Amino acid sequence: MPKLPSKKMILVHFDARDPIMAAVIREKGAFQLSRNRNYFLVLCKAIIGQQISIKAADSIAKRVQCLFENQIPTPEKMEAISIELLRQSGLSGQKVKYLKDLAAKFLDGSIRPHRFPYQNNEEVVEALTTVYGIGRWTAEMFLIFSLGRLNVLPIADLGLQAGIKKIYKMRSLPSPKRMLALGKKWHPMETVGTWYAWRIQDAEIISY
């Protein structure tokens, strides 16, 4: 698990590579990345959070947690719980299928979580996207919030796009090409730039 860089180390990097982002970092304070080592739980929360607001995702995730009598969902428990109960928590039919497939792949060995810390980002993405309903964005959230990878740039993330638009005073959301150019400036701290772009949009610190 990589160690989080200090604010001083981050500022040395961004002062040299991207002074605009460096100003945001000074304004918003220390980099805080909350990492959750429960791989299955993080992936469940990432699936729940697909294409909905952070507030809505938190609300549904709490209702799902209640279905397990406030115990942490495991692949075994997720496989056993009824589709009807999951739907009643506010999940769409599609997301229920995604969660069930995730549990099945953990249980049958298709997903081998013990390998993840030793794999590079693309290898982890490739493994996770074999799960029905997990695309690149969900896998990237896992890289950030479970594996603590510092070099992740989730270009499809709407919060990141909106944050970049605001920070760099753009008239419209940035194109993938513009975001990749920023990512090159930020490298190898793309996750750090992403985290501060999220903070400029929402004072609440994102966690999974």
60-83 per-residue burial string, b: 16 or more CB within 10 A, e: under 16: bbeebbebeeeeebbbeebeebee
122 and 192 assigned to the same domain: no
CATH of the domain at 49: 1.10.340.30
Look at residue 69 in the predicted model and tell me its pLDDT. Answer: 83
- Give residue 41's region: left, alpha or beta (phi > 0; psi -120 to 50): alpha
CATH of the domain at 27: 1.10.1670.40
| Residues in Cβ contact with 1 at an 8 Å cutoff, skipping those fewer than 6 apart | 35, 37, 117, 147, 148
- Say how many domains are in the chain: 2
- Give residue 133's region: left, alpha or beta (phi > 0; psi -120 to 50): left
Collapse the DSSP code of 6 into the 3-class scheme (helix H, G, I; strand E, B; otherwise coil) and give the result. coil
Query: How far apart are alpha carbons 83 and 85 in whole angstroms?
Result: 6
Q: What is the mean pLDDT of residues 61-66?
A: 91
Return the structure tokens found at 110: 């298709």
Query: How far apart are alpha carbons 3 and 161 in whole angstroms?
Result: 26
Domain boundary among the residues 125, 145, 165 is at 145
pLDDT tens figures, 92-119: 999 999 999 999 999 999 999 999 999 9
Domain boundary among the residues 145, 166, 182 is at 145
Look at residue 201 in the predicted model and tell me its pLDDT. Answer: 83
- Percent of the chain with pLDDT strictly greater than 70: 96
> Domain span at residue 48?
39-145
Q: What is the mean pLDDT of residues 175-202?
A: 95
Confidence of residue 135 (pLDDT cuts 50, 70, 90): very high
The pTM score is 0.87
Domain boundary among the residues 127, 145, 163 is at 145
pLDDT tens figures, 154-185: 999 989 999 999 999 999 999 999 999 999 99
Query: How far apart are alpha carbons 71 and 85 in whole angstroms?
Result: 16
> How does DSSP classify residue 118?
G
